[in-house]
Structures are given as structure tokens and as C-alpha cells.
């Protein structure tokens, strides 16, 4: 395939009246929705073609992953992350969050679930919804990046600590954890018999040119630590609505326990979602490279412009397409409402555990991003 093939990232796709969660949340067409982690780009035409071919078959019955689907994931992990896994390690789920919920429900009520905050808000909510005890361990901001405070982590561990919910790369702060950081996390967890559940749904959205993602399961491979790595093509290839994810669980007993728990409680992966997954991992990489180039351009534009806006500053985004913007100094009562009144629908930092920030999704056309920036400039300018 010709890797120079153009893709339509500058195309503005009208998603209104399609049932889009992202575009219909605010009920006001004047508001630009830049909140949920859902890209506005057309998906790779190679994926669309494979879906069309599958629809030539007239039956969409209950489906299990074919050998070709499994091989596409095994090859992807080996080729893109240097991780050689046994195909039997895979367990399929219709999303990362159902897997997180399932593992949380395997714990006893008195067990504690640790999370590094601020963090993707469902990882805060699922322990509570499961009637389990959540223990927050704040990340620390040093050397212009967010990272793990290992002293605070070890102090937070008790005899009841049984599960760590890890977001890697981290949503919303955008940090890529190094191999050494991941090894230290898993060493600590191994020493205390804590299961690590690593949400790596953003692992192929690496924007920092000198860093790479290390799967937690790979970093911990020699430690004997129990690590479940959760991945999906959904964020990488804009397939959020396709609902196809997989858990890499090397421990056979733990894997069977998880699979048994999911029976009748977690839906099956939809038929077309397997098709989309195989197509993405087999044919989607030229599109993906153009995506990364485009997102880097959007990030550079956003950082430059936000840097010139009074009261605002923006942390470096090493990965994801989600900007973590500090609005602490903005002289308004509620920064989220202020931005919404300016016609920008963001994700409030309070959701993630830090009200000093707002999260902005910049996976959109550059034209839309420029409109959003100008609205922010105008709104902030009106109070200076």
C-alpha cells in the first residue's frame, strides 16, 4: 500500500442528527463539543471497505474471534510494541470499562482499589459503583510532567489493597510512563500481592517524538507480577462505537476466573466489531501515521495559542489527543461554565479529580480547532 496516500483529516464531517453522544450532549448547535475522547475524523477507508465486504454475507449472528482476528492482534503487539504473547492470553470484551468493572466485582467488599489521580473519571466511579473502597493516590508534577509519587503510593497501601487501576498512557494528563516507572509500579504491587489492571486504550496515540509506549504487561514480564493489560483499536482508529477490546491475561487461572465472571454479565463483542478490529490492525497503519502527523500539528497550534492567552497554561501532552489546560488563575467562578458560555464544550477537571483543569479534545479538523481557540481568546479577552 502507498504510505503517501492522502486521508481526509481536514474534512469537516457533520455529525449532528446521527445520534452522536459527542455532538448532541449540549443541545445547542452553537456549542463546539470538544469533550469526550471521540475523534471527528473519517475512519480509514480500508476499514470501511472490509465492513462492506462483511455485509455481503447476509447473517450477523453471535460471533467469536476468528483465527485471523486473533492473529491480527498478536502480530500488532509484536510489530508495534515488541511484545510477543501467547494467543491464549487474550480475552475479548466489548470495551475496556466492562473489563474494569468485571475485575472490580471479583474483589471482596472490604478490598481497596488504588487509583492515581487525576484520572479518567470512570476509573473513579467504577469502584464506588461496585461498592468497593477506592483509595486515591495523587500524581506529582515535577520537571514539567506528571508522574507517579512512589512514596505516596507505598504509604497508601494497606493489607486490604488488592487492585491498582492504572491509566497508561495517562488520561487526562497525557504522560507516557517509562519502562522504569512501570517496573517500579509493578514491583511494588508484586511485593504487596496487588493486581495491576492497566488501561492502555491510548497506547498508539504517542505524540512525543522521542518516547514510546511500553505495555505494562511487557515491563513486568520478568517480575512475576499479576498484570492485566487492556487494549482496543477504538481510540487509535476512531472506532469508539464499535465496542471491541481485549484483555491480555497471562495467568491462566485469573483469565478463566475473568471469563467465567463475564458470562451473562458482559455482552459479546458485536460481529462487525471483530471485522473492524482485524481491518484496523491489518490495513490501518498508513492512515494512523497520517493521523499522528495531523494531531501533532493540532497540538503545536494549541500549545502556541494557549501560551499567549492570559490566565491559561497547558501541560505538555506526550500522548492522547486530550489537552489538559490549567484554568486555576482564570478570574471566574466556574471555568467550565465560562468556556461553555463562550461556545466551547469541554470536560470539567472536577470529573477527573482536579478542578483547576479543563480537558480539551483536539482530534478535530484544524479549522474547528482554530474556531475554538478564537472563542477562548475572545472570552478571556473580555475579562482582561
Percent share of the chain, pLDDT over 90: 93
Query: What is the reported pLDDT for 5?
Result: 58
Q: pLDDT tens digits for 165-214?
A: 999 999 999 999 999 999 999 999 999 999 999 999 999 999 999 999 99
Instruction: Determine if residue 311 is left, alpha or beta; phi over 0 gives left, psi from -120 to 50 gives alpha, anything else beta.
Output: left
Place of cell 497550534: 301
| Residue 146 pLDDT > 50 | yes
pLDDT category, 144, cuts 50, 70, 90?
confident
Span 320-349, mean pLDDT? 98
Q: pLDDT tens digits for 239-254?
A: 999 999 999 999 999 9
CA distance 245 to 336: 31
Alpha helices in 15-66 (DSSP H): 21-24, 45-54
Span 215-221, mean pLDDT? 93
DSSP for 309-363, please give it.
Answer: STT-EE----BSSEEEEE-TT--SS-HHHHHHHTTEE-EEGGGTT-TTEEEEE--
Which of 170, 155, 165, 93 lies closest to 132, judged by CA?
A: 165
For the full predicted model, state whether its pTM sits above 0.85. yes
Domain map (residue ranges) of the chain: 21-45+285-381, 59-283
Q: What CATH number has the domain spanning 59-283? A: 3.40.640.10
| Residue 35 pLDDT > 80 | yes
Q: pLDDT tens digits for 271-328?
A: 999 999 999 999 999 999 999 999 999 999 999 999 999 999 998 899 999 999 999 9
Task: Say if domain 21-45+285-381 classifies as CATH 3.90.1150.10.
Answer: yes
β-bridge mates for residue 196, sequence order: 164, 227
C-alpha R_g of the chain: 21
Amino acid at each position: 500500500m502507498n504510505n503517501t496516500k492522502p486521508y481526509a483529516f481536514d474534512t469537516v464531517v457533520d455529525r449532528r442528527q446521527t445520534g452522536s453522544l459527542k455532538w448532541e450532549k449540549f443541545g445547542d448547535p452553537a456549542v463546539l463539543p470538544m469533550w469526550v475522547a471521540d475523534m471527528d475524523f473519517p475512519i480509514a477507508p480500508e476499514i470501511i471497505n472490509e465492513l462492506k465486504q462483511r455485509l455481503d454475507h447476509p447473517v450477523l449472528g453471535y460471533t467469536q474471534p476468528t483465527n485471523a482476528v486473533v492473529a491480527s492482534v498478536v502480530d500488532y503487539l509484536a510489530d508495534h510494541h515488541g511484545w510477543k504473547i501467547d494467543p491464549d492470553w487474550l480475552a475479548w470484551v466489548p470495551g475496556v470499562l466492562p473489563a474494569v468493572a468485571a475485575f472490580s466485582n471479583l474483589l471482596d467488599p472490604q478490598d481497596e482499589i488504588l487509583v492515581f489521580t487525576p484520572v479518567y473519571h470512570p476509573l473513579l466511579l467504577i469502584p464506588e459503583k461496585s461498592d468497593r473502597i477506592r483509595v486515591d493516590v495523587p500524581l506529582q508534577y515535577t520537571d514539567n510532567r506528571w508522574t507517579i509519587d512512589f512514596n505516596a503510593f507505598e504509604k497508601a497501601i494497606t493489607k486490604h489493597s488488592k487492585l491498582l487501576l492504572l491509566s497508561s498512557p495517562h488520561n487526562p494528563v497525557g504522560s507516557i510512563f517509562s519502562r522504569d516507572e512501570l517496573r517500579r509500579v509493578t514491583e511494588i504491587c508484586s511485593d504487596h500481592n496487588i493486581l495491576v489492571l492497566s488501561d492502555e486504550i491510548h497506547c498508539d496515540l504517542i505524540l512525543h517524538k522521542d518516547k514510546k509506549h511500553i505495555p505494562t504487561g511487557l515491563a513486568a514480564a520478568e517480575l512475576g507480577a499479576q498484570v492485566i493489560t487492556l487494549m482496543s483499536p477504538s481510540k487509535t482508529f476512531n472506532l469508539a462505537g464499535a465496542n471491541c477490546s481485549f484483555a491480555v491475561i497471562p495467568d491462566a487461572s485469573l483469565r478463566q476466573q475473568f471469563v467465567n465472571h463475564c458470562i451473562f454479565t458482559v455482552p459479546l463483542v458485536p460481529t462487525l466489531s471483530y471485522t473492524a478490529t482485524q481491518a484496523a490492525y491489518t490495513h490501518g497503519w498508513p492512515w494512523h501515521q497520517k493521523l499522528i502527523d495531523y494531531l501533532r500539528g493540532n497540538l503545536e497550534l494549541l500549545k502556541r495559542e494557549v501560551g499567549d492567552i492570559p490566565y491559561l497554561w497547558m501541560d505538555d501532552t506526550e500522548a492522547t489527543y486530550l489537552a489538559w489546560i490549567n484554568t486555576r488563575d482564570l478570574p471566574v467562578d466556574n471555568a467550565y461554565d465560562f468556556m461553555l458560555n463562550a461556545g466551547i464544550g469541554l470536560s470539567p477537571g472536577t470529573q477527573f479529580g482536579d478542578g483547576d483543569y479543563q480537558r480539551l479534545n483536539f482530534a478535530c479538523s484544524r479549522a474547528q480547532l482554530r474556531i475554538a481557540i478564537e472563542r477562548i481568546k475572545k472570552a478571556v479577552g473580555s475579562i482582561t
